[in-house]
Structure 1
Amino acid sequence: MPELTGRTVLLAGATSASGRAAARTLLARGARVVATGRSAEKLEPLAALGAETEVLDPTDEQAVRALVRRLHERGLTVDGLLHLVGGWRGGGGLAGQTEEDYRALEASFTALRHLSRALDDDLRASPAGRLAIVSSTAVARPLAGGANYAAVKAAGEAWTRAVAQGWAKAAREAGEPLRAAAVVLRVKALAGLEDRLAEDFAQLWAADPAELNDSILTIQEKGTD
């Protein structure tokens, strides 16, 4: 596991079990962790672990940009973003995919767009910028009962790959080595794999960014790789 002392990592949507696992792993490796969530109360366990916490509605673009400004005012620039904003709604076949369900799920994609744009300069300038989203194996094999969910996850993957292409192009045109990498982490179901997700995310800093950028990695139980 790489040493992350000196790195600042932002966990978006950190109040889940996955967020707590990621915070523990990153803090243990020396990273400075900024954990965000909509509820101050639900952020308390992250603060107890040693993370800095920020109440944030990631679907509010101005709120996201204000957070980044506050970090900069404190002398912090972000080296890593783990996007954990998500949720599940589905079932009932195609006819059961309601517009209300879609709009609720779409918030994850909206948050990703806001966060990645607001942090683009930080991640590009970092000596080792990393952006990762948690996606789903449903993108490769969508089912009618999860059409809304798979569509939103597919949009998130497309956006992340576009970020990766932009970073690679900018490095090429500047005649500089690529230092940042944007990655898709796919999982069938996160329950029971929270620690593995955290380990795999931290491990991104050990990989060559030129090989890592624009990759899709599947998170599995240890021993099933």
Structure 2
Amino acid sequence: MNKAIFWDFDGTLVYCHSLWSNSVLQVLNEQLPGRGITLADVRPYMVSGYPWDLPEPHPEIKADAWWPFMYRKFAEVYRRFGVEPAAAESLGPYTRELILDVSKYHLYDDTIETLSCVRALGYQNYILSNNYPELRQTMRALGLEGYFSGCVISGEIGLDKPDRAIFEYALALAGHPEHCLMVGDNPRADIAGASNAGIPSVLVHRNTVSNAGHTCAVLSEIPSILATSSK
């Protein structure tokens, strides 16, 4: 029997301490020393403006076009804080380097154990993530790549959660499994998106209201859910 689990990445398998906001904050404090800009100042400008926030389909924002889209967002934020326009436009690649720094990513204590356990139960693991095109390299550096049968990454294909199309893409990649599950930490992108595509889900690391079938404080609770549901 073909069984698959689709895993979100950030906030689900790894944590990275507000990486995008902190990266922009680092650039701002280097460009504007002495201003005392804080994470609380930056965060309101970083909660939206990503490809997955766009209301219309955007298949062109992928691969080599993905980061230039983000560079424009970064430049807008830098200008808001008073960075000169020419400098703001030039800081995108440096911001990208900070975001891709693998030392900023940390596996949850039970990530590897859980991925191994669910494979032992006969499930194939797939990444299903709203993320930059280089996510596979980050996974490889973290030692995760070998635990997955495939990846669906928004920055590679120009589709984003919660769009039903990206879940259908994932189902096709997995060979339309008879049993599948979405695991993620975002009630809208992961849980509502999966529900709209007819995929049951588990919300992890978040104690909030959602329509997930299960809510787990830690990943290590998931194998027992799978074992019970398969009986």
Q: RCO higher in 1 or 2 (8 Å CA, sep ≥ 6)?
A: 2
Same-fold call, TM > 0.5? no
Q: Which has the larger radius of gyration?
A: 2
- Name the TM-score, length of structure 2 as normaliser: 0.43
- Name the TM-score, length of structure 1 as normaliser: 0.44
